[in-house]
Amino acid sequence: MNNPLFHQVDDRFREYLRSNGIRGTHHRATILQVFLENTKPVTAKDIHYGVKAVNLRVSFHCVYATMGLLVKSGLAKEIIQDDGTARRYTHELTIAHCTHSHLVCKDCGATVTAEQR
């Protein structure tokens, strides 16, 4: 991905990892890239499927753990359904200074921006 915004987010994630004594790996970078390519909330399983298309050696555990790190770093938001069965992840790219509001459906996790209303 040659998007300058991706590189900013990647740098921010690597800095978070470094400051917490965690290695930044190629697998984590691939997971971040696949995650950022999604425009709607996704599950770890969805991300794993996308990552497998790029690198077969990335495990589901690595995806799940990396998504946890992205949430802790503030680069991802975790959406948990009321029954607790499904976790979806969405990115709120604060680097882009998004100025429009979002609504997130509690049932399906779909995101609606102000322009779509």
pLDDT band at 117 (very low <50, low <70, confident <90, very high): very low
Q: Kindly give, in sequence order, each residue whose CB lies less than 8 Å from that of residue 61, ignoring residues fewer than 6 positions away.
A: none
Q: What is the pLDDT of residue 101?
A: 53
CATH class of 4-116: mainly alpha
To which H or E segment does residue 78 belong?
strand 77-80
Q: Looking at the predicted structure, is the pLDDT value of residue 106 above 70? A: no
For the record, the structure tokens of 73 come out as 């770093």
- The pTM assigned to this predicted structure is 0.74
Q: What is the pLDDT of residue 95?
A: 37
Nearest to 34 by CA among 89, 73, 111, 71: 89
Question: Quick one: residue 38, left, alpha or beta (phi over 0 = left, psi -120 to 50 = alpha)?
Answer: beta
Question: Per residue in 20-46, pLDDT tens?
Answer: 999 999 999 999 999 998 888 899 999
Domain boundaries, the chain: 4-116
